[in-house]
Amino acid sequence: MRCPDPEAGKTAAAGGFMPDTGTIVMCQQWAAEQPGEVPNTVAHEMIHAYDDARARLDWTNLVHHACTEIRAANLSGDCSFWREVNRANVSPLRVAKAGERCVRRRAQISVAMNPACTSERAAEAAVDQATTHHHRDTLPRRLRLQTSSWRSRR
């Protein structure tokens, strides 16, 4: 899919999960320019698909959107230390909590792009509300461990 160019000063989307159809789309111009980023982006969008199937998210509810964005940024590798170093978001003076800052930043950017979001402050408030619980939520990664534990108990 060819995605529109972002407005001046806005972040371009690399892809997205379309809840109405349950599909994941990738922006072709971005994927062609950043082929090494495609696996992480697909993983990010698959976490949204998983969350939508598991929790039946209301995508117009900014807190719901923030929850899945926090999980996707946290679990997909979007906010790994070296990715943040490559983005120049980590310096020797700003190493502590770099991952948490990244998760919040990326979640706020995505929530702010939601048509239901009225302002950057509304996006920030939704992320604030969702952060406490979802930063520690590691499903679906935990499912594999639980499944293997269940099998060993049989």
- Tokens 């402050």 appear where? 121
| Distance from C-alpha of 97 to C-alpha of 78, rounded to nearest angstrom | 15
pLDDT at 144 over 50: no
Annotated active-site residue 45? The verdict is: yes
Predicted confidence at residue 143, as pLDDT, reads: 42
- Gap between the Cα atoms of 129 and 2, Å rounded: 34
> Per-residue pLDDT for 142 more than 50?
no
Q: Out of 18-27, 32-41, 63-72, 83-92, give the one with best mean pLDDT.
A: 63-72
Bigger pLDDT: 42 vs 90: 42
| Tally of CB atoms within 10 A around 140 | 13
| Most distant pair of Cα atoms in the chain: their distance | 58
Per-residue pLDDT reduced to its tens digit, 16-55: 899 999 999 888 877 788 888 888 889 999 999 999 999 8
What count of Cα atoms within 13 Å lies in the side-chain half-sphere of residue 152?
A: 6
Catalytic residue among 37, 45, 84, 120: 45
